[in-house]
Amino acid sequence: MTMTITHLGSGSRGNSTLLETPRAKVLIDQGFSGAQLVKRLARLQLTPDDIDCVFLSHHHGDHGGGAKMLQTKWNIPVLANERTALELDLVPEMTTFFEALDLVKVGSDLAVLPVPVPHAGSDNVGFVASYGGERAAIITDLGSWTEELVTHVRGCEHISVEANYDHNRLMHGPYPYSLKDRISGRGGHLSNEQTGRFLAEVCTEATRSITLMHLSEKNNLPHLAESTVLYFIDEVFSGDLRISGQNGPDFSHYIGQESTVVKPNEKVAK
pLDDT in tens, 142-154: 999 999 999 999 9
β-sheet bridge partners, residue 1: none
Cis peptide before 249 (omega within 30 of 0): yes
Going by the DSSP 8-state scheme, the letter that residue 19 receives in this structure is E
Helix axes 192-202, 222-233, angle to 10 degrees: 40
Which of 146, 149, 158 is closest to 206 using CA atoms?
Answer: 158
Residue 255: what are its φ and ψ, rounded to 5°?
A: -130, 165
Task: State the pLDDT at residue 235.
Answer: 94
CB 61 within 8 A of CB 97: no
| Mean pLDDT along residues 1-25 | 96
Share of the chain above pLDDT 90, in %: 90
Q: Is the pLDDT of residue 232 over 60?
A: yes
Question: Global pTM?
Answer: 0.94
CB 170 within 8 A of CB 189: no
Domain spanning 3-255 has what CATH number? Answer: 3.60.15.10
Task: State the pLDDT at residue 260.
Answer: 46
Tell me how far apart the alpha carbons of residues 62 and 214 are, in angstroms, rounded to a whole number: 10
Q: Quote the mean pLDDT of the chain.
A: 93
Residue type, 97: F
Sequence spans of domains, the chain: 3-255
Tell me how far apart the alpha carbons of residues 133 and 177 are, in angstroms, rounded to a whole number: 46
Tell me how far apart the alpha carbons of residues 106 and 113 are, in angstroms, rounded to a whole number: 11
β-sheet bridge partners, residue 217: none
Residue 76: what are its φ and ψ, rounded to 5°?
A: -95, 125
